[in-house]
Amino acid sequence: MTEIHQTLILPTRLGILSFRTDATGPSLVDSDISLRSVGFTPKLPSGMSTSTCTAVLLQTRPDKDIRTLNLHAELAAALDSNRCTGEFVDALEWNDEQNLVIVGTEHDDALYIRYPDAGYANVASVKYGLQSMKIEFDLDGMPPGVSFHMIVAENPIPEPMEASAWFAVEQRHKDVLQLFS
């Protein structure tokens, strides 16, 4: 069994936010998984905006047998975090009373819609730490070549319109995929 890791570093208003992915499977090489980021303008309700929004995409090659996969995001700054979830989003936010950073990902309900045979309806995939959130993927029942995302939204405090950053991290996966094509 081979284990591979990839890291992506994202500077934010509150310091470095690092992303790490770990994968195991027989005969894996670094190119079997891809961890990339791109800045974008999120689809938001009228009047809402973010100063910065970045999508982070984790993809696996469809011809590889990947047994375990996770994606971990951690803020280097020692700031208190708050969990914030919605119908289709799990998120973690930090602020220093002048700046706000939120990282969000698909809630189990959204994963269940994309991968109904993987059992996400009954298993919480997101784990929270003091400065971090981690998604652990159970790849049983998943088709080959899976993809997952996290979105980082930043704004000053007060936000131009309240909850703008929170709405920004709740983007559809198919829209995130289009950012990378």
Residue 169: per-residue pLDDT: 97
- Tens of pLDDT along the chain (181 residues) come to 899 999 999 999 999 999 999 998 888 899 999 999 999 999 999 999 999 999 999 999 988 888 888 999 999 998 989 998 887 899 999 999 999 999 999 887 787 788 777 766 555 578 888 899 998 876 766 678 889 999 999 999 999 999 999 999 999 999 999 999 8
pTM for this entry: 0.93
Find, among 52, 80, 60, 64, the residue nearest to 154 by Cα.
52
DSSP for 69-126, please give it: EEEEEEESS---EEEEE-SSEEEEEEE-SSEEEEEEEE-HHHHHHH-GGGTTTTS--E
Residue 87: per-residue pLDDT: 79
Residue 138: per-residue pLDDT: 66
For the chain, domain boundaries: 2-179
Contact criterion met (CB below 8 Å) for 67 and 125: no
Residue 141: per-residue pLDDT: 63
Residue 115: per-residue pLDDT: 78
Residue 27: per-residue pLDDT: 86
Residue 119: per-residue pLDDT: 63
Sign of CA dihedral 5, 68, 115, 60: positive
Contact criterion met (CB below 8 Å) for 150 and 105: yes
Residue 143: per-residue pLDDT: 77
